[in-house]
Amino acid sequence: MKHVLVITNFNAGRKQVIRYKKDVLDFLIKRCKMFKFAAIDELNNIDIRPFDTVITMGGDGTINKVLPYIINTEKVLGIIPLGTANLLAAKLGITLNIKKSLKIIEKNNIKAIDILNINENLCALRFGIGYDADIITKTPQSVKNKFGYFSYFIAGVLFALRLKRKTYEITAEDNTFKENASCIIIANAANMYRNIISVGQNSAIDDGLADIFILKPANPIIFFIEFLKIIFNIKKNNKNTVYMKASKIRIKNTWLFCHIDGEKKKIKGDIKINILPKTLKVYST
């Protein structure tokens, strides 16, 4: 770590970015030959070639925006988690403590992880349709700023009261099937609510496979019962739930709203998802 670019996202945590910027500055002054701070909206105008390390000060959405610049390169991603969810940081064992986050970068333990390619959109965490997408994309930023991660819990309860189902034709590897579902999650990292729960108990971010999680119920009570079964690994596949792994997925589609790493997207045409195995280098515990 000699040449470092620090990408800040004030929308993800304005107070924290301001508060922690001095800690990061002191850390870099002692250890680097050259470094630069830049806001996330300046990324397109920066020549990233001289930097061997990119540190993000923000959330999962900030990381997602940085991915195209560092994937399939020797550049290493460092994470200072300041967003609402910080799921990738949690999966890598990175806490919200600034000193501990910097210590992980200093230890130089580098891990290569998988990335999802979704219609040429890169995804480190997960892709969601239906209920999962509603929670992520319809929760106002003002509510997230006020209540933090608890805002997703509030939204989860509200949107569960108006579940809607849609028929999807899905191909996983060479197996094609139809499901009438209220929620589909395709995950590289299947953890939710930091590392407290996961929709894929055996999920790994470096196994070359995505976890596919399909919930069918429109009844909120049955939905949550099945959701809890998945979380506690009690029962995976039944008439209400489908769980599997695959490296290639295709969903027949005209257009829909979804989320990719917590960012709202509108996708036209069929959804094509491929795993890009071990294409991102990150500092990890």
The 3-class SS string of the chain reads: CCEEEEEECHHHHHHHHHHHHHHHHHHHHHHCCEEEEEEHHHHHHCCCCCCCEEEEEECHHHHHHHHHHHCCCCCEEEEEECCCCCHHHHHCCCCCCHHHHHHHHHHCCEEEEEEEEECCEEECCEEEEEHHHHHHHHCCHHHHHHHCCHHHHHHHHHHHCCCCCEEEEEEECCEEEEEEECEEEEECCCEECCCCEECCCCCCCCCCCEEEEEECCCCHHHHHHHHHHHHCCCCCCCCCEEEEEECEEEECCCEEEEEECCEEEEEECCEEEEEEEEEEEEECC
Tokens of 167: 């028929």
Domain 3-108, CATH 3.40.50.10330 — does that match? yes
Q: Which pLDDT score is estimated for 263? A: 85
Q: Does 95 score more than 80 pLDDT?
A: yes
Percent of the residues in the chain that have a pLDDT greater than 70, as a whole number: 92
What's the mean pLDDT in 63-85?
A: 94
Return the exposure string of 124-136: e unless at least 16 CB atoms fall within 10 Å of the residue's CB, then b.
bbbbbbbbbbbbb
Higher pLDDT, 137 or 223: 223
Residues 6+ apart with CB under 8 A from 228: 234
194 pLDDT band, cuts 50/70/90, is low
Q: Which pLDDT score is estimated for 118? A: 97
Q: Does 42 score more than 90 pLDDT?
A: yes
What's the mean pLDDT in 226-255?
A: 87
Of 29-38, 63-72, 195-204, where does mean pLDDT reach its minimum? 195-204
Phi, psi of 241 (to 5 degrees): -140, 140
pTM of the full predicted structure? 0.88
CATH number of 121-277: 2.60.200.40
Higher pLDDT, 54 or 161: 54
Q: Which pLDDT score is estimated for 235? A: 67
Of 35-44, 73-82, 142-151, where does mean pLDDT reach its minimum? 142-151
What's the mean pLDDT in 142-169?
A: 78
Higher pLDDT, 169 or 264: 169
Q: Which pLDDT score is estimated for 201? A: 62
Boundaries of every domain in the chain: 3-108, 121-277
Q: Which pLDDT score is estimated for 128? A: 94
Higher pLDDT, 132 or 278: 278
Q: Does 144 score more than 70 pLDDT?
A: no
264 pLDDT band, cuts 50/70/90, is confident
Q: Which pLDDT score is estimated for 62? A: 92
Q: Which pLDDT score is estimated for 141? A: 67
CA 28/CA 83 separation, integer angstroms: 22
CA 112/CA 205 separation, integer angstroms: 9
Q: Which pLDDT score is estimated for 116? A: 97
Higher pLDDT, 154 or 219: 219
Q: Which pLDDT score is estimated for 63? A: 95
Tokens of 218: 């429109």
16 pLDDT band, cuts 50/70/90, is confident
234 pLDDT band, cuts 50/70/90, is confident
